[in-house]
Structure 1
Amino acid sequence: MTTVTIIGAGLGGLTLARVLHVHGIPSTVYEAEPSPTARTQGGMLDIHDHTGQPALRAAGLSDAFHGTVLEGRQAMRVLDGDGTVLLDEPDDGTGGRPEVQRGELRRILLDSLPAGTVRWGHKVSGVRALGEGRHEVIFADGATTEASLLVGADGAWSRVRSPLSDAVPEYIGRSYVETYLFDGDTRHPAAAKAVGGGSIFTLAPGKGIQAHREGGGTLHTYVALSEPREWFARVDFTDPAAATARIAREFEGWAPEITALITESDTAPVLRALHALPVEPRWERVAGVTLLGDAAHLSAPNGEGANLAMYDGAELGKAIAAHPDDAEAALTAYEQALFPRSAAAAADGTDLHELLFGDHAPHSLVSMLAGHAQPR
């Protein structure tokens, strides 16, 4: 049986590898990072009952996943800049979008794969078509490998995308500045009280402070600012104190327990410029290669990125298992469902941006949540 070659050991690529393994199909995952612990894996993820959770069921990992859920983290609050609580929704216990640490979820997936499945320290520099559906993968150190079925799970700046599409991510006009407060209840009690047991959205047109409570009392914050890249280029992020002060200045007059999520940060502020691919990602079928996750459909943040990557991986794995002797039939079936799913998620991201940062923020978000619909 043909080994599936997967580029990228993120959640999507690992879910694909696991679902293939469940069906007895071998795969090899090439990852640029030198080891599974080379860097931290981001913060919290809410795993949705219509995307991420079905993917984990297909991978046979539901029990392991539920063992990592942080109870109570589905609680959500919306605040005005002066600290007024506009909406306070407790964790309803339904499990529709339970929160887990991204690193824990990745560990579960890695531990579920046969030893040697992931080849660490393999950064891809390019892909070359060899004909008859085969592709050569070229690594940064000059080494190569040939793939008869190649999957790009290598994120926003995918190298595997080039045989399929010339689309390039574009800046969406908004960036996040990321901060952390550790031991919040003890060291940052006012900020911890404002965040509550789950997450908060403190919003105004064009900007906001979003935070959630992670394990161990950590408060993880994303400060959103709708500014051009040139604006952020004028902020000296090599000087953490100066950068912190400059970002905080955009929220003058806001409640101190909210701005403390910036000013009391225990880490240097980190800039995260946000990019997206075209709203309706699509390409002509190219034999022997496809994409999943952000490589296929990077969109404005909408809470679905990791969920969709896992769902893509599971659906692709099931399609390959359903057509073990016909890779093109598998890839065609997968992509026919992928394209409309991706377009819908991208449109949701655009709608969510307006709810969070449009002219009627934060009341637009409050109105939506009061209707018992969750932001995606």
Structure 2
Amino acid sequence: MLRQASKFLCPLHRGTYSPQIRRIAAAAKPAPVAIVGGGPCGLTFARLLERAGVDYVVFERDASFTAAQKFQGGTLDLGPEGGQAALKSAGLFTEFQKYARYEGSCLTIQDFKGNHYERMGGDDRDRPEIDRFQLRQMLLQSIPEQRVKWNMKLLGAEIQKREQDSGSTSAADCVLRFEDGTSERGFRLVVGSDGAWSKLRQVITPMEPTYTGRLFIEGAISPGNPQYNAAVALAGPGNSLATGNHQALCVQQMSDRSYRVYMAVEGPESMTRPGGQLDLSNQEETCGRINELYSPWAPHLRDIVAAVEGPYRAWPLFQLDERLFARAEENKNDLPHEERWKRVPGVTLLGDAAHVGVPNGEGVNHAMTDARKLFECLEAELKEAGEGFDQKADAVRIERAISAYEADMFPRAHESIRDGIGMMGMMFAKDGAKKMKEILAQTPQDAQT
């Protein structure tokens, strides 16, 4: 009976069977996987499910595909074991090569006075750059457009058991509530890839990211800028990092040959808000104040800062407590019990939603690895399912897959957050450029970040 009813799942057979058989077929059909958030890791996971023929839906806060084409941030370098491996699994590596800029992997380091200057990397490093916008568009175009529900901003989630269901809790009991007043439930698996301020994370832990006391202020240098040639000399086709005096200056070339500039400073979270020292509501006045902050810097670096074009954007740096991912058996997880990561059947997190930390050069690689690892764990479980579909058995298999994924993700998350703390400490240290130069000189080029 179920084998016959399964024909109903094909659109060509719709309307062929009686309402009774349709109900049987619907009951036998796996519910879709819910992916909250359409960034690189959520879309990578969606693409992997698409290739495997697993039903899914992506809930994205952007209003439309057109809105998703707007500003997406700077450029990303994808490592062979991170983003590249995920794209290969997703069948998108050849497409990625159309955008990959291997020459963009070069890095220039110096301190705020121009000392300890070093340029390294280039075509021989297997960490090509791609604009964040290009990566996201490539992933979006790799899945059917009807798979994405736009303008779906998640406000919260809760586990709400159905009264008539006396079985164990599963993803079907996770209710997603959206800003437009709608709610969704009844999924096979719920995956949060909704970034640093994930609303889905709240069902797993009440922990929120904390401000680190540092922030980036972003601007640009376009080809028509008087300092454009200076930016070319500074960063070339890749990246430049100058550090010291409790500040940093990052310059990176984009695919259109313009440059994104990130001025990293220390200060309160309110620093760029109305009334703050660098009030971004008054861009012209803020420009002068930023210049004052960089007045002790070398003239060639100070000139870059003075030439940065607006509009300025602020990126306060937040991170989760690394202890969230420490192994309890080693007595390293001394968080209060209520703040620890709780296994919620059928629900898990990817990328910044799971383990947001300050930049360490590996964020998108770790996020896309999360997507690949979760898919591989699911694939290993579901391929053993055999014919027919049993919802309870499926929930057990999915829970095993999530547990295996999280066992792999936890140590990577712990290490990533700690690496970010070390990277930021070095970036803002008085001798940060010297230390970074020494570390990178000892690191194989294909592993440098």
Measured against the shorter chain, the TM-score band is over 0.9
TM-score by length of 1: 0.95
Q: Distance in 1 between matches of 2:278 and 2:103?
A: 37
In structure 2, the partner of 1:112 is 142
Q: Does 1:20 align with 2:49?
A: yes
Q: Distance in 2 between matches of 1:305 and 1:37?
A: 25
Bigger mean CA offset, 172-181 vs 251-260: 251-260
In structure 2, the partner of 1:135 is 174
Q: Whose radius of gyration is greater, 1 or 2?
A: 2
Render the CA deviation track for 1:151-187: whole Å, top value 9, x for unaligned: 1110011110111001101001110010101116876
Q: Distance in 1 between matches of 2:349 and 2:121?
A: 38
Q: Distance in 2 between matches of 1:319 and 1:185?
A: 49
In structure 1, the partner of 2:88 is 57
Q: Distance in 2 between matches of 1:90 and 1:224?
A: 23
In structure 1, the partner of 2:363 is 305
In structure 2, the partner of 1:226 is 266
Read off the aligned partner of 1:50 and give its amino acid letter: E
Q: Does 1:72 align with 2:91?
A: no
Deviation at 1:93, TM superposition (A): 2.2
Bigger mean CA offset, 102-111 vs 31-40: 31-40
Change (3 A) 1:90 1:306: closer
Select the residue among 64, 67, 73 that pairs with 1:35. Answer: 64
Q: Distance in 1 between matches of 2:431 and 2:308?
A: 29
In structure 1, the partner of 2:401 is 330
Q: State the SS of the aligned residue for 2:144.
A: coil
Render the CA deviation track for 1:100-154: whole Å, top value 9, x for unaligned: 1111111111111123111111111111212321211111111111133111110
8 Å Cα contact 1:9-1:29 kept in structure 2? yes
Q: Does 1:259 align with 2:302?
A: yes
In structure 1, the partner of 2:208 is 168
Higher RCO (CA-CA < 8 Å; seq separation 6+): 1
- After superposition, where does 1:223-302 map in structure 2 within 5 Å? 223-232=263-272, 233-282=276-325, 283-302=341-360
8 Å Cα contact 1:20-1:321 kept in structure 2? no
Render the CA deviation track for 1:178-231: whole Å, top value 9, x for unaligned: 010111687622232222231111110421101111122211111111222244
Q: State the SS of the aligned residue for 1:162.
A: helix
In structure 1, the partner of 2:330 is none
Question: Could you say which structure has the higher helix fraction?
Answer: 2
Q: State the SS of the aligned residue for 1:166.
A: coil
Read off the aligned partner of 2:398 and give its amino acid letter: A
Deviation at 1:60, TM superposition (A): 1.1
Deviation at 1:353, TM superposition (A): 1.7
In structure 2, the partner of 1:349 is 420
Bigger mean CA offset, 255-264 vs 310-319: 255-264
Count the aligned residue pairs: 375
Render the CA deviation track for 1:309-341: whole Å, top value 9, x for unaligned: 111111112222222231111111111111111
8 Å Cα contact 1:25-1:321 kept in structure 2? no
Q: Distance in 2 between matches of 1:271 and 1:284?
A: 33
Q: Distance in 1 between matches of 2:316 and 2:283?
A: 17
Q: Distance in 2 between matches of 1:76 and 1:126?
A: 41
8 Å Cα contact 2:61-2:152 kept in structure 1? yes
8 Å Cα contact 2:240-2:252 kept in structure 1? yes
Q: Distance in 2 between matches of 1:157 and 1:60?
A: 30
8 Å Cα contact 2:78-2:128 kept in structure 1? yes
Read off the aligned partner of 1:212 and give its amino acid letter: Q
8 Å Cα contact 2:77-2:128 kept in structure 1? yes
In structure 1, the partner of 2:236 is 196
Structure 1: which 5+ residue stretches go unaligned? none
Read off the aligned partner of 1:248 and give its amino acid letter: N
Bigger mean CA offset, 221-230 vs 60-69: 221-230
Deviation at 1:365, TM superposition (A): 0.9
Deviation at 1:296, TM superposition (A): 0.4
Q: Distance in 2 between matches of 1:305 and 1:355?
A: 18
